[in-house]
Structure 1
């Protein structure tokens, strides 16, 4: 039985995946919240296809700043089968180091595609 999730939930879980330091927990979330053929578009590292690649790139990004936290700065916005969430990232208690917007496309209650855009800090 496949769990289906709201797009608002998927937007938050995507941030959780990229903010997770524990590889086993991160992989469990990827298996639950992403389709098998999911695609992640990163403006820095390109296109990553499938759960294994998303797991690999999320771990690699996390390793560059393991103490950063992703913090939404607006409520998720949903339109049909897509949505977006704006966020900042940085060390807790310090000014954010960078900001971004994640756009995702959902299919059957899971993430089918994520597009990452970096934003100017608010």
Structure 2
């Protein structure tokens, strides 16, 4: 059985990895080849597209870090849901979201469905 808490932790670690080669290694290790990521602002299918989306978000929010929100990971079967915060380390989050991660049978990230609960005003 997949440890969904650990998979969610690796998911957030991938979003926080700013070195492109190290980030790609995390994606290749923890994401299925045909994994998908969807949120209100982005849609990606496949490891290359996921990598591009994460790189673009890091460019938009340089120096900010993702952390697991209060409440931790709620999981059952192959599903995990959790909130996350994005902001300066140790400070109030600028962005808050809610994700549902779907694990594959072999314990990889197969899909992530994201929602944005708090975003900076323009």
**What TM-score does the superposition give when structure 1 sets the normalisation length?**
0.89
2:73–2:80 Cα contact (<8 Å) kept: yes
The secondary structure found in structure 2 opposite 1:18 is helix
Q: Give how far 1:13 is off.
A: 1.1
Whether 2:75 is the aligned partner of 1:78: answer: yes
1:21–1:66 Cα contact (<8 Å) kept: no
Q: 2:49 aligns with which of 53, 68, 71?
A: 53
Whether 2:26 is the aligned partner of 1:29: answer: yes
**What TM-score does the superposition give when structure 2 sets the normalisation length?**
0.89
Q: Give how far 1:94 is off.
A: 2.7
Question: How many positions carry a matched residue from both structures?
Answer: 117
The secondary structure found in structure 2 opposite 1:53 is helix
Tell me the alpha carbon deviations over residues 63-117 of structure 1, each in whole angstroms, 9 at most, x when there is no partner.
1112111111221111111111111110124321010111111011000000111
Q: Give how far 1:7 is off.
A: 1.3
RMSD (Å), alpha carbons:
1.6
Moved more, 33-42 or 4-13: 4-13
Residue in structure 1 matched with residue 108 of structure 2 by the alignment: 110
Structure 1, gaps ≥5 residues long = none
- Aligned residue runs from structure 1 range 89-104, under 5 A: 89-104=86-101
2:39 and 2:17 map into 1 onto residues whose CA distance is 18
The secondary structure found in structure 2 opposite 1:85 is strand
Structure 1 residues 5 and 28: CA distance shift in structure 2, 3 A = farther
Q: Give how far 1:5 is off.
A: 4.9
1:83 and 1:8 map into 2 onto residues whose CA distance is 8
